[in-house]
Amino acid sequence: MNHPQMFLDANAHAFDPARRRWLIGAAGILALGAEFALPRQAAAATPIALPALPYPESALAPVISAQTIGFHYGKHHKGYVDNLNKLIAGTPMADLSLEAIVKASAGQPDKAAVFNNAAQVWNHSFYWNSLRPGGGGEPPAALRERMIASFGSVETCKKELAAAAMGQFGSGWAWLVADGDRLKVTRTPNAETPLTDSLKPLLTIDVWEHAYYLDYQNRRADYVGALLDKLVNWEFALANLG
């Protein structure tokens, strides 16, 4: 086995020192943000990476088509990642995790472009995991109990989520969040996210038009209803609840 220092010396040319993460232990493991586990070279070239979809592009059809996923993930989501990396290159933010970038740039007028792109990267990554093939149905027992305690019933919770998604004027997001011991529904415009309001996101519904327009045109209600009935990932929400 090569000595850790020999490994580092042999690969030193592959790294930009301004973007190098700290090393943990003698093995020289890169400590990346919790969002991504990238190879060393990829981390140096791309501080924030586009995470892989948790399923094939066709897996959510017919509720959400492969064509929509292809544009939404491959163009919009990827575009936010690319823009963010250009904006933070050579700045102290290049060494932060994605979540830290979102929080550090929130409410800073001079960092509005960084926030918008970083938050959209985070929101979209969260959205893909809020959905799953064969989703919907009855939530797991532990989540169901919390939903009943907070909303009176699972159906009421779903109705409030649908209302938030429908009530968001223009582009934005509907969220199921934990606020202390209680669950509640909220919505955010554009790139805004509950992360900056000290709330714990559990799942989200993207109501930007690019999320549904190829499949549903102006029928946002049909998209939201189908998503809640057939795709929502209650297990992901429970995992986030902790």
Query: How much is the pLDDT for 46?
Result: 54
Confidence band, pLDDT 50/70/90 cuts, at residue 6: very low
Any known ligand binding at 124? Answer: yes
Which phi and psi (to 5°) does residue 23 adopt?
A: -105, 140
The verdict on residue 112 lying in a domain is no
Reported as a single tens digit per residue, the pLDDT across 151-209 is: 999 999 999 999 999 999 999 999 999 999 999 999 999 999 999 998 999 999 999 99
Reported as a single tens digit per residue, the pLDDT across 32-87 is: 333 433 333 333 345 899 999 999 999 999 999 999 999 999 999 999 999 999 99
| Token pair in block for residue 156 | 């009421």
* Strand (E) or helix (H) holding 178: strand 172-179
Q: Which residues contact 107 (CB under 8 A, 6 or more apart)?
A: 196
E strand spans, 25-146: 29-30
Evaluate whether residue 53 is within a structural domain.
Answer: no
Q: What is the pLDDT of residue 30?
A: 29
CATH code at position 186: 3.55.40.20
SS3 of residue 139 by DSSP: coil
Ligand-binding site membership of 210 (annotated): yes
Q: Which two tokens stand for residue 157?
A: 């919770």
Question: Do 20 and 44 contact (CB within 8 A), yes or no?
Answer: yes
Q: Give a yes or no: residue 188 inside a domain.
A: yes
72 marked ligand binding residue:
yes
Determine if residue 206 is labeled as part of a ligand binding site. yes
| Domain coverage including residue 20 | 4-45
Number of domains comprising the chain: 2
